[in-house]
Amino acid sequence: MTELENEDLTFALNFKADEATEEQLAYYGKWYADYVLTVNKDVTFNANGDADGYLSGQYDAWSENWVNVPFENVTLTAGQSLKIMEYAAQLMGEPGLKLTYNDVYSFVKDFNCGIFFEPEFLAANPDFVVTLELRMYNPEDESESYVIGETYEFEAPKIVAENVGTGAVYATAAEALMAAKSGETVRMLTNTDEMMIVVFDGITFDLNGYQVSAQYVTSYGDIVDNSESNAGLLVVAKNRFMIREDNAQVPSVSDSGYKFIEIIDFKIMTENGGAKLIFQPWFEDYASMLFQDQAAWESSGLTISVVVSWEANGMPQQQKFIYTPAHVMDVFVSYRGDNAGYNQAYNLILKNIDGLESLTMTAMVESETGVVVSCQP
């Protein structure tokens, strides 16, 4: 048994029949022989995807190419064994076919096999173990069996994050981010607790619904949570967290860390020569929790505001209007309630400004971390 390099598989092995004596062949030659796969946790294989992984094999007498199987879900429960050659015969339309040790020694001789496991499965099962062995069975009593040669054992490596583009997996988020190149995304696969997280320029760090705790976090790229659950949480002290102002999503204080909110529809309109502003920031589902009560919004570290800039009599002027938590609640309740089409925005009307020139209105959602999402009409 020899380990092989195969970048498409989690592990790959070559099996080659050893020299056998005439006495061994005479005694064991008619015994059934098979390669037996055993797992310590339930696992589902399917080469078509939507499973924990798939099996793969290559045998020169059939093809020089590796063949991935099965083509439908096959689930192994913890402690259950799968006889690989017997299963392969079934796939080839010969169910019940069993190879003897003479067959393996004389005809099969040499073949390759391997397994691919999804990184998410390995990350969620750090104590997962696979064993693979060549076993011979007495044809008169298959409960009598012996292992031939050495047993191969695979233990799941520690996996915390993956590079979405390259498929490479890493034991720490810091290691994954250090290896990433501009334009690539590092996605978390489980919770982690690390000393320092640095997101370099051009790199996206996706919490993917998991909790990342760190003593220090510095981001020149983008930190986001693109999971459907929006359960991702970045746990770091405010004074040890540096993030660029135009981060793709807005950090909102939650428990001991930050959730990341995407503003999905950001509308602003003006009327009457720019004197009326209607500002409509719409958030992803998680943000609705922030509006359930005033205290939730106040503790979020977010503010909604409008900055008005103009020139009056040749002098630049500016005024910032911050909407109170009570007003934020009122707009949200009206939007979610029965008053469809009514009071679904933050309205600002300016009148009777003498000598008004070059009026601009900038609407903003701001985080206590310094991240600002803004737009102008």
For residues 131 and 209, state if they share a domain.
Answer: no
Lowest mean pLDDT among 13-17, 93-97, 352-356: 352-356
250 located within any domain? no
Query: For the whole prediction, is pTM greater than 0.85?
Result: no
pLDDT digits (tens, 9 = 90+) for 102-111: 877 777 777 8
**3 state DSSP class of 102:** helix
141 with 271, same domain: the answer is: no
Q: Is residue 252 part of a domain?
A: no
- Does a structural domain hold residue 258? no
The answer on 14 and 127 residing in a single domain is yes
Could you tell me the pLDDT band of residue 294, with boundaries at 50, 70 and 90? confident
Cβ–Cβ < 8 Å for 161, 186: yes
Within this chain, do residues 36 and 86 fall inside the same structural domain, yes or no?
yes
Whether residue 256 lies inside any domain: the answer is no
Kindly indicate the confidence band of residue 292, based on its pLDDT and cuts at 50, 70 and 90: low
Task: Give the per-residue pLDDT at 339.
Answer: 47
**Among candidate residues 267, 245, 243, the one with its CA nearest the CA of residue 257:** 243
Lowest mean pLDDT among 11-15, 302-306, 313-317: 313-317
Check whether residue 141 and residue 27 sit in a common domain: yes
**Do 149 and 166 belong to one domain?**
no
**What average pLDDT does the segment 216-243 reach?**
94
The reported pLDDT for the residue numbered 342 is 44
Residues with Cβ within 8 Å of 187's Cβ and at least 6 positions away in sequence, in order, are 161, 162, 163, 164, 206, 208
**146 and 6 inside one domain:** yes
User: In this structure, is residue 184 part of a structural domain?
Assistant: yes
Q: Which residue, of 115, 135, 155, is where some domain finishes?
A: 155
Structure tokens at 252: 């909102």
**pLDDT for 327-366, tens place per residue?**
877 776 665 544 444 445 667 766 655 556 677 788 888 9
271 and 228 together in one domain: no
Mean pLDDT, residues 120-135: 91
| 97 plus 33 within the same structural domain | yes
* Model confidence at 273: pLDDT above 60: no
DSSP secondary structure string for all residues of 85-121: HHHHHHHTT-TT---BHHHIIIII-EEEEEEEE-HHH
In the 8-state DSSP scheme, what is residue 299? T
Domain containing 171 equals 161-244
Q: Does residue 47 form part of some domain?
A: yes
- Count the domains in the chain: 3
Convert the pLDDT of each residue in 146-183 to its tens digit.
887 788 899 998 999 999 999 899 999 999 999 999 99
Start-to-end CA distance of the chain, whole Å, equals: 69
CATH label of the domain that carries residue 336: 2.60.40
Are residues 338 and 289 located together in one domain of the fold?
A: yes
